[in-house]
Structure 1
Amino acid sequence: MKSYSTLEINEVLKGIIIGETSQSITAPEQLEAATDTEISFIGNRKYEKFWETSKACVAVVNEDISIEPGENRAFIKVKNADLAMSQVLELFAPPTPLFSSEIHPTAIIDLTATICNGAKIGAGCYIGPNVVIGDNTIIYPNVTILDECTIGKNSIIWSGTVVRERCHIGNDCILHPNCTIGADGFGFRPCPERGLVKIPQIGNVIIGNGVEIGANSCVDRGKFSSTVLGDGCKIDNLVQIGHNSKLGKFCIMAGNSGLAGSVTLGNGVIIGGSASIKDHTTIGDGAIVGAGSGVTGDIPAGKVMLGYPAVEARDALKQWAILKRLVNDSKK
């Protein structure tokens, strides 16, 4: 079991220690559940009230903390407790699953595929013709990567993922279990003779560097040209990204949200959970779409939108307040 002293943890965090404790720290835990050998964190002053009843011996806290740690307890003051806690979690992180060999004997790898230095490929994987797997990339068991795909350096592809033909994934990416990259876009047109006619999807998907895509999420290939995810995008579980959509850098999409086809997101756009975005919509840099919202038109840069259909947040809040008053008046 890993354990650290307060001083050892602060060597990583570079904060200021307030108080002292003789306890060795064996794990991180949330305030309410922590034991007297565990470290927690207070990222907002509204959570200070939980410290008195918490058993944690140490807490990583923001610099504006207004309480004292108490007897045989300590705070580590930092500028951003949330970011500092991510460093603490790294200290205690257990090892990732091990490979007995760099390429498992049950993996099927086409003779034309290129597997670069230090890459690892797990049991039951299929690596198709002319695929390139970059240096130190890890492909966990039962992953399928089809013809002419490229995966960059230091990426991690978790089990069950399918990367279809001609798609390209950058360096330092993480694809979580069972996500699908490059499935056909949802394209059909009514035809009197044949019912619904499938529109061929002949494009691909291009994913930049440092992108993370959650479990069971789907990024559809373009009808023509490419569906594009820019560097640093973070996609949650169960997210749908439609064909020919283009995401700028560092966009965030929370769980169960979805983009229809040909949506454009600027840099730093945030899409809340279960939000849905109409096709051919453009959302400007830094805009935020609240959870459960439905976007039916373009959004300028920096706007915060709420509701279904989505309107500016301040207008949505006014509408909700009026509706609440109307309901209350009807009960009188």
Structure 2
Amino acid sequence: MKNYSIEDINNVVKGTLVGATSHLISAPEQLELAKETEISFIGNKKYEKFWQDSKACAAIVNEDIAIEPGENRAFIKVKNADLAMTLVLELFAPAPPLFSSEIHPTAVIDASAKVGAGTRIGANAYIGPNVVLGENVTIYPNVTILDECTIGNNTAIWPGAVVRERCHVGAHCILHPNCTIGADGFGFRPCPEKGLAKIPQIGNVVLGNYVEIGANSSVDRGKFSSTILGDGCKIDNLVQIGHNSILGKFCIMAGNSGLAGSVTLGNGVIIGGSASIKDHTTLGDGVTIGAGSGVTGDVEAGKTMLGYPAVEARTALKQWAILKRMANQ
């Protein structure tokens, strides 16, 4: 069990301490579930009303929070409570799963593979010919990494993930359980002899540094060259990224969203859950696509799109307002 004083936590988040509490803090928790030895957070003024009924002894709060913490309770005021809370969660994070040995005896590692210092490989993992694993890589049980792949330093690959041949994963990446990097792109053409002829997919996938791929998501290999995800991209669970798509830096895709083939995203694009993007479409820097939207054409930088088919957010809201009025007539 880890326990910290409110002063210990403030030293980490570097905020302004308001009030005081004698309790040692044992864990972070939601406002409505917190116990008197736990810390919570208030990231928006609309949640101030829940503080009085919470049992939490402390909270990380935004600077604009106007309420007082109360007796034997404390606030740590910061510019961004959500970001500060990530530091608190790191303090209380339990240790990752243990490895009894750096290389489990049931792991299969080809003789031509190169394994960097400090790298750990779990039970029943397969590391193929000419694979290069950097330093301090963590390969959990039942991971498959096929021929000629490279994995950068400090990357973690969780059980069941597959990295297919000739794909490259950067440093400090996280591949969650059962995701697939480098499956064949979805390419078929009508054929008199076969009905549908499969188009060979001979490219690969290249993931930048600090990329995170969620559980059961798939990033397909390129037909000719590479499907590319830039540094810092964060991909949720159950996401499909089609062949030859190119994502800029720090793009976000929420669960059940998907890119068809040859989609290009600029830097900082945000795609909401269950949104879909048509093939050969380009979304400029900073574009936001609302949840459930369907994008059928290029989108200029900085725009927010909603609806199916997607239109600019202001237009979509006007259309919905008109439909609501018509329905009420």
Using the size of structure 2 for normalisation, the TM-score is: 1.00
Match of 2:194 in 1: 194
What CA distance in whole angstroms lies between the structure 1 residues aligned with 2:189 and 2:119? Answer: 43
Match of 1:13 in 2: 13
User: 1:218-252: CA deviations, max 9, x gaps?
Assistant: 00000110000000000000000000000000000
Match of 2:89 in 1: 89
What CA distance in whole angstroms lies between the structure 2 residues aligned with 1:196 and 1:163? Answer: 27
User: 1:2-54: CA deviations, max 9, x gaps?
Assistant: 11110011110111111111111100000011011100000000000000111
Match of 1:155 in 2: 155
Match of 2:316 in 1: 316
- Partner SS, residue 86 of structure 1: helix
What CA distance in whole angstroms lies between the structure 1 residues aligned with 2:116 and 2:2? Answer: 34
Cα RMSD of the aligned pairs, angstroms, is 0.5
What CA distance in whole angstroms lies between the structure 2 residues aligned with 1:70 and 1:140? Answer: 46
What CA distance in whole angstroms lies between the structure 2 residues aligned with 1:226 and 1:263? Answer: 12
Offset of residue 60 of structure 1: 0.3
Match of 2:260 in 1: 260
Letter in 1 for 2:121: I
Q: Are 1:170 and 2:174 an aligned pair? A: no
- Partner SS, residue 182 of structure 1: strand
Match of 2:280 in 1: 280
Match of 2:234 in 1: 234
- Partner SS, residue 219 of structure 1: strand
Match of 2:77 in 1: 77
Unaligned runs of 5+ in 1: none
Letter in 2 for 1:131: V
Letter in 1 for 2:99: F
What CA distance in whole angstroms lies between the structure 2 residues aligned with 1:219 and 1:15? Answer: 40
Q: Percent identity?
A: 79
What CA distance in whole angstroms lies between the structure 2 residues aligned with 1:55 and 1:141? Answer: 41
Offset of residue 164 of structure 1: 0.3
What CA distance in whole angstroms lies between the structure 2 residues aligned with 1:194 and 1:96? Answer: 50
What CA distance in whole angstroms lies between the structure 2 residues aligned with 1:217 and 1:176? Answer: 9
Q: Are 1:48 and 2:42 an aligned pair? A: no
Match of 2:122 in 1: 122
Using the size of structure 1 for normalisation, the TM-score is: 0.99
User: 1:274-298: CA deviations, max 9, x gaps?
Assistant: 0000000000000000000000000
Letter in 2 for 1:49: K
- Partner SS, residue 49 of structure 1: helix
Offset of residue 322 of structure 1: 0.3
Offset of residue 192 of structure 1: 2.2
What CA distance in whole angstroms lies between the structure 2 residues aligned with 1:54 and 1:196? Answer: 61
Q: Are 1:295 and 2:295 an aligned pair? A: yes
Offset of residue 193 of structure 1: 2.3
What CA distance in whole angstroms lies between the structure 2 residues aligned with 1:28 and 1:235? Answer: 25
Letter in 2 for 1:72: N
Letter in 2 for 1:241: I
What CA distance in whole angstroms lies between the structure 2 residues aligned with 1:213 and 1:151? Answer: 14
- Partner SS, residue 231 of structure 1: coil
Letter in 2 for 1:322: I
What CA distance in whole angstroms lies between the structure 2 residues aligned with 1:194 and 1:225? Answer: 26
Match of 2:66 in 1: 66
The alignment covers a number of residue pairs equal to 329
Match of 1:37 in 2: 37
Letter in 1 for 2:324: K
Offset of residue 191 of structure 1: 1.3
What CA distance in whole angstroms lies between the structure 2 residues aligned with 1:291 and 1:17? Answer: 38
What CA distance in whole angstroms lies between the structure 2 residues aligned with 1:125 and 1:194? Answer: 37
What CA distance in whole angstroms lies between the structure 2 residues aligned with 1:214 and 1:90? Answer: 20
Offset of residue 194 of structure 1: 1.4
Runs of 4+ residues deviating >6 angstroms: none
What CA distance in whole angstroms lies between the structure 1 residues aligned with 2:192 and 2:155? Answer: 47
User: 1:106-146: CA deviations, max 9, x gaps?
Assistant: 00000000001111000000000000000001000000000
What CA distance in whole angstroms lies between the structure 2 residues aligned with 1:76 and 1:229? Answer: 37
What CA distance in whole angstroms lies between the structure 2 residues aligned with 1:116 and 1:8? Answer: 36
Match of 2:25 in 1: 25
Unaligned runs of 5+ in 2: none
What CA distance in whole angstroms lies between the structure 2 residues aligned with 1:15 and 1:193? Answer: 70
